């Protein structure tokens, strides 16, 4: 599979899967050809993801495993300790370790320092952030001396993320798209439906292709083999410039579907 900044161009999300559901979804996806799996301390499924990785029969170096440090573990007391626990859950060092949500502005530098220490300690091959605004991303990039390779953010046709994408590209940072299907809502948008009918492809493939064609890496969650297979098929075709524009035109700066109290009012800063 093509990679961007060393990250496979499509991954499997695992929130909110737990227990056997998480285990079997990861086994199923790897069997179908997925090599990039996204988990987090917050999801409570690292143990099952780790077991699926161990049992899947694919060499660990063929896989790309991402986890994220829980917002409650960003302080100096818990950062490395919680990361060590994640690594034990996942059966070894990860490929990419992210800060799940930005800390208070005054803490961004020290948190990025801890992330870099986790890398120097061999807990992860690469580091990144999640839910960082353009300003926060520039700060993290500068503090890390360019070591941040990715920002995982909400990204789908209903949300205009053009400013963030342009900042990330300038910095050489790739965006990963979480909730890439807007949890299903993006599939019903007019241009998506029209293009889907015309190209005779599912609306989900049109949305994922629109994301990938901008150099963004989607991580759709599914526990259904037919959907997992269809999502992979988005790697195999191209949308015309007109179709790309038609979908981009529906994005709204207020189009978020994932809301959290602690980020309210910080998105545009
Ligand atoms: N960094 C963060 O703060 C953050 C926040 C949210 C999410 N995430 C990550 O991003 C991943 C994906 O986001 P998400 O789960 O919120 O939303 P999503 O991937 O946009 O939507 C998941 C929903 O879409 C359905 N689906 C998947 N493929 C489909 C297809 N081909 N056709 C029709 N329906 C399809 C799934 O149902 P079925 O199982 O029935 O297919 C599921 O209900 C999460 O699992 C998590 O790993 C990160």
Segment 166-205, tens digit of pLDDT = 999 999 999 999 999 999 999 999 999 999 999 999 999 9
Q: Which residues are catalytic?
A: 43
Domain count, the chain: 1
Is 207 domain-assigned? no
pTM for the predicted model, two decimal places: 0.97
Q: Which residues pair with 100 in a beta bridge?
A: none
- The pLDDT of 9-33, averaged and rounded, is 98
Q: Judge whether 193 lies within some domain.
A: no
Whether 152 contacts 67, CB under 8 Å:
no
Average pLDDT over residues 6-26: 98
> Which residues, at least 6 apart from 161, have a Cβ–Cβ distance to it below 8 Å?
153, 154, 155, 175, 251
Q: In angstroms, how far apart are the furthest CA atoms of the chain?
A: 55
Q: Of the ranges 38-47, 111-120, 257-266, which one carries the lowest mean pLDDT score?
A: 257-266
Q: Which domain holds residue 123?
A: 7-181+215-234
248 within some domain:
no
Residue 131, domain member (yes or no): yes
148: CATH:
3.20.20.100
Confidence category of residue 17, pLDDT binned at 50, 70, 90: very high
Is residue 45 included in any domain, yes or no? yes
- Is the Cβ atom of 18 under 6 angstroms away from ligand 1? no
Candidates 6, 16, 3, 2; CA nearest to 221 is: 16
The pLDDT of residue 77 is 85
**In angstroms, rounded to a whole number, what is the distance separating the alpha carbons of residues 89 and 79?**
15
Whether 266 maps to a domain, the answer reads: no
- Our mutation pick for probing the ligand 1 site, out of 36, 181, 196, 211, counting the most ligand atoms within 8 A of Cβ, is 181
Q: Is the Cβ atom of 142 under 6 angstroms away from ligand 1?
A: no
CB atoms under 10 Å from CB of 123, counted, come to 20
Rounded Cα–Cα distance for residues 243 and 118 (Å)? 42
Residue at 267 is within a domain: no
- Which residue has the least CA distance to atom 24 on ligand 1? 183
Q: Is 68 within the bounds of a domain?
A: yes
Q: In this predicted structure, what is the pLDDT of residue 84?
A: 97
Å from CA of 16 to ligand 1 middle: 9
């Amino acid at each position: 599979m093509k990679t961007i900044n060393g990250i496979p161009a499509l991954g499997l999300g695992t929130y909110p899967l737990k227990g056997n559901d998480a285990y079997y979804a990861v086994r199923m996806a790897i069997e179908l050809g997925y090599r990039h799996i996204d988990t987090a301390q917050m999801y409570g499924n690292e143990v099952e993801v780790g077991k699926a990785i161990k049992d899947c029969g694919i060499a660990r170096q063929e896989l790309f495993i991402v986890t994220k440090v829980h917002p409650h573990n960003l302080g100096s007391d818990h950062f490395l300790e919680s990361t060590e626990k994640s690594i034990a859950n996942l059966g070894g060092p990860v490929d990419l370790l992210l800060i799940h949500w930005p800390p208070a502005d005054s803490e961004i530098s020290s948190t990025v320092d801890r992330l870099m220490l986790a890398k120097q300690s061999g807990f992860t091959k690469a580091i990144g952030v999640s839910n960082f605004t353009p300003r926060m991303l520039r700060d993290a990039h500068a503090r890390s001396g360019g070591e941040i390779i990715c920002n995982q953010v909400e990204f789908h046709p209903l949300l205009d993320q053009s400013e963030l994408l342009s900042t990330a590209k300038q910095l050489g940072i790739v965006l990963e798209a979480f909730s890439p299907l807007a949890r299903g809502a993006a599939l019903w948008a007019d241009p998506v439906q029209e293009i889907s009918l015309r190209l005779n492809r599912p609306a989900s493939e049109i949305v994922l292709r629109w994301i990938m064609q901008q150099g963004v890496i989607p991580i759709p969650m599914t526990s259904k083999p037919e959907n997992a297979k269809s999502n992979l098929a988005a790697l195999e075709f191209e949308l015309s410039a007109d179709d790309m524009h038609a979908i981009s035109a529906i994005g709204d700066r207020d189009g978020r579907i994932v809301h959290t109290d602690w980020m309210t009012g910080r998105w545009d800063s």
